[in-house]
């Protein structure tokens, strides 16, 4: 379907819309009233059909807005549906989660942060806020800023009854296996509750936001050129992907295009990051299934990649190189020969690693047929990245809606049809080789010229920026009122849609396969949460040193309870 055919499709729902506005060849904004939102969303997802990306909730003072973001990947177009909710006292929308499971989490998040009620939602429990957060207090409403300025505190608000809402989500008496919030497989806090029948998982529930950092709210207090530093901290392994998606959105608002050399530098850093991320995942995956040789190989081979990133940007992670209008640091011409030599070596080692993994009959037996996510379920849960491509969905933002220098390079989108853990491993290994090839070509084609242009101001408007992070599509929506700060900034990391797909891939599996199915999507919980603890006045309750001391105090308490005095270095007999 081409652009004209898409327009013809959209004309079928014209009577239910307030307006249709095309701001660019690949950006369309629809708007409708709340009463028509369900029907229009259902049409966009099922009849066009479009790929659901995420939804953004906005407090616009006179009303609430929910913007549903869709992608039409065949022509690289983003279609945004703005829904206006005029009733501020009792804001309501019909939930689209019953036909689009990918919307379940984001509707719960919008309800937590803005208080919009989604009628007929299958599971309207808290997602972002803690269970003891006061009822009726919505932190992303504009009125909260005024309340805090007047001295509002959580203690002045009513709290929910102790039994509401409970984390337990299955009836008592059924066998329950908790995984988390702390688990050796999970580097961060996340809670999975498995309901089992013997060794078979019959249901699964997930709880996030044990470490919510308020990135979107903080962004509203920073100037446009400060935000890339903030969003690079969303995830260390995606610290090029998030700033790139953000500046893509802001540059869309400003109508600017970065210089050619900056486009290539961005591409090189993003692909080095992908190589680093995929090799890290392969190593951890090997460790999780007891294949520690792969773990040691993969982590050794990624070291030269991190060294290259450090040479270019000064950092192995959190590169801080992308800015609105270009890049902050250039790639010195004198290191190009070294880069090509190192990439040749990485390519050889990755080829060897790939053959070793793909030729191993034990890995075939352990991973094939495990944690299968069908193509149909992958669409319903709107998964992205290797998780989608491992289930036969050939989507990749770098090709479908090119940014940076990707349209200038020769490369392939890697797709596997099986949808199991083995397929996801194959996708990542082959993508690593594609990224090496892409990076070498970009380095060889690196054009001369400046790496940035000056952008003095950001006009009023809104923009959508996305990029292909190692785990999948990273999406940023930014709105400007012409000032020097965004008035709304929505972040959707790939894990936010990939993680909930466990309901489709884990149910019916053996307990022993659940954790490896979890690892197969390469979940990033810090991306999903988006840590000092502060009170309602913004005062620090616990900083790093206080948290460290709390840990030491807890250790001392446990030693006392166990009657163990502890071990000192001088007590050890060495030699």
Q: Rounded mean pLDDT of 326-333? A: 94
Q: What is the pLDDT of residue 566?
A: 58
Report the CATH superfamily, name and number, of domain 3-130+132-165: NADH:ubiquinone oxidoreductase Nqo5 subunit (3.30.460.80)
Mean pLDDT rounded to a whole number for the chain: 87
Q: What is the pLDDT of residue 120?
A: 96
- Joined tokens for residue 7: 């327009």
Q: Rounded mean pLDDT of 54-79? A: 95
| Residue 567 reports pLDDT greater than 60 | no
| Residue 166 reports pLDDT greater than 50 | no
pTM of the model: 0.87
Phi and psi at residue 229, in whole multiples of 5°?
-65, -40
User: If pLDDT is split at 50, 70 and 90, which confidence band does 7 have?
Assistant: confident
What residue spans define the domains of the chain?
3-130+132-165, 215-529, 535-571
Q: Rounded mean pLDDT of 60-83? A: 95
Side by side, the strands of the sheet bearing 64-72 are 19-24, 27-33, 77-85, 64-72, 51-59
User: If pLDDT is split at 50, 70 and 90, which confidence band does 233 have?
Assistant: confident
Rounded to whole angstroms, how far apart are CA atoms 263 and 1? 29
The 3-state secondary structure of 306-353, one letter per residue? HHHHHHHHCCCCCCCCEECCEECCCCCHHHHHHHHHHHHHHHHHHHHH
User: If pLDDT is split at 50, 70 and 90, which confidence band does 104 have?
Assistant: very high
E strands in 120-183: 176-179
Residues in the chain: 575
| Residue 462 reports pLDDT greater than 80 | yes
Q: What is the pLDDT of residue 557?
A: 79
Q: Rounded mean pLDDT of 205-221? A: 82
Sole residue written with tokens 């998040």: 109
| Residue 444 reports pLDDT greater than 90 | yes
Minimum mean pLDDT among 291-295, 487-491, 541-545: which range?
Answer: 541-545
Cis bond leading into 181, ω under 30°?
yes
User: Please, which residues have CB within 8 angstroms of residue 570's CB and are 6 or more apart in sequence?
Assistant: none
Identify the bridge partners of residue 489 per DSSP, sorted by sequence position.
478
| Residue 13 reports pLDDT greater than 70 | yes
Q: What is the pLDDT of residue 53?
A: 97
Q: Whose CA is closest to 446, among 322, 291, 337? A: 337
Rounded to whole angstroms, how far apart are CA atoms 330 and 241? 18
Strands 92-94 and 117-119: parallel
Minimum mean pLDDT among 79-93, 224-238, 453-467: which range?
Answer: 224-238
Q: What is the pLDDT of residue 572?
A: 44
Count of CB atoms situated within 10 Å of the CB of 219 = 24
User: Is CATH 1.10.645.10 the right assignment for the domain spanning 215-529?
Assistant: yes
Q: Whose CA is closest to 298, among 344, 357, 240, 343? A: 357
| Residue 287 reports pLDDT greater than 60 | yes
pLDDT tens track for 490-509: 999 999 999 999 889 999 98
Q: Are 211 and 533 in contact (CB under 8 A)?
A: no
DSSP secondary structure string, 521-567? T---HHHHH---EE-TTS-EEE-HHHHHHHHHHHHHHHHHHHT----
């Amino acid at each position: 379907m081409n652009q004209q055919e898409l327009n013809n499709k959209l004309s079928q729902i014209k009577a239910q819309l307030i307006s249709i506005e095309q701001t660019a060849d690949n950006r369309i904004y629809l708007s409708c009233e709340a009463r028509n939102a369900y029907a229009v969303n259902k049409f966009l997802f099922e009849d066009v059909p479009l790929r659901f990306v995420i939804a953004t909730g906005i407090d616009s003072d006179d009303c609430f807005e929910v913007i549903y973001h869709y992608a039409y990947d065949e022509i690289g177009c983003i279609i945004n549906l703005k829904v206006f909710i005029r009733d501020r006292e009792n804001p309501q929308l019909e939930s689209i989660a019953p036909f689009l499971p990918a919307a379940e989490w984001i509707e719960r998040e919008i309800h937590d942060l803005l208080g919009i009620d989604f009628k007929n939602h299958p599971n309207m429990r808290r997602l972002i806020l803690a269970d003891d957060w006061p009822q009726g207090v919505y932190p992303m409403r504009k009125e909260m800023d005024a309340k805090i300025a007047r001295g509002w505190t959580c203690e002045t608000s009513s709290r929910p009854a102790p039994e509401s809402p409970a984390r337990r989500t299955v009836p008592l008496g059924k066998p329950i296996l908790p995984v988390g919030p702390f688990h050796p497989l999970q580097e961060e806090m996340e809670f999975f509750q498995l309901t089992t029948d013997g060794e078979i998982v019959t249901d699964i529930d997930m709880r996030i936001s044990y470490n919510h950092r308020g990135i979107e709210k903080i962004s509203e207090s920073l100037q446009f050129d400060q935000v890339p530093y903030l969003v690079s901290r969303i995830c260390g392994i995606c610290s090029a992907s998030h700033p790139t998606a953000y500046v893509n959105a802001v540059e869309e608002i400003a109508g600017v295009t970065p210089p050619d050399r900056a486009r290539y530098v961005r591409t090189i850093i993003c692909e080095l990051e992908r190589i680093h991320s995929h090799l890290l995942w392969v190593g951890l995956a090997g460790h999780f299934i007891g294949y520690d040789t792969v773990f040691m190989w993969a982590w050794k081979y990624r070291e030269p990649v991190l060294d290259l990133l450090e040479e270019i940007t000064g950092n192995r992670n959190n590169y801080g190189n992308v800015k609105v209008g270009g890049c902050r640091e250039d790639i010195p011409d004198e290191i190009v020969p070294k880069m090509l030599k190192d990439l040749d070596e990485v390519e050889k080692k990755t080829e060897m690693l790939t053959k070793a993994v793909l030729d191993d009959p034990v890995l075939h037996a352990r991973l094939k047929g495990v944690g299968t996510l069908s193509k149909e379920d992958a669409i319903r849960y709107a998964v992205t990245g290797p998780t989608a491509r491992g289930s036969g969905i050939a989507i990749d933002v770098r090709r479908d809606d090119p940014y940076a220098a990707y349209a200038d390079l020769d490369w392939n989108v890697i797709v596997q049809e099986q949808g199991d853990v083995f397929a996801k491993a194959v996708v990542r290994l082959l993508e690593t080789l594609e990224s090496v090839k892409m990076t070498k070509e970009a380095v060889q084609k690196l054009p001369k010229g400046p790496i940035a242009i000056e952008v003095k101001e950001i006009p009023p408007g809104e923009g959508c920026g996305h990029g292909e992070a190692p785990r999948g599509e990273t999406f940023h929506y930014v709105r400007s009122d012409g000032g020097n700060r965004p008035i709304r900034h929505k972040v959707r990391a790939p894990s936010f849609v990939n993680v909930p797909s466990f309901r489709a891939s884990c149910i019916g599996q053996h307990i022993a396969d659940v954790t490896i199915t979890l690892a197969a999507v390469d979940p990033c919980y810090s991306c999903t949460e988006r840590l000092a603890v502060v009170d309602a006045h913004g005062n620090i309750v616990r900083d790093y040193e206080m948290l460290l001391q709390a840990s030491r105090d807890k250790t001392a308490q446990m030693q006392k309870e166990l009657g163990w005095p502890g071990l000192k270095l001088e007590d050890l007999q060495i030699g």
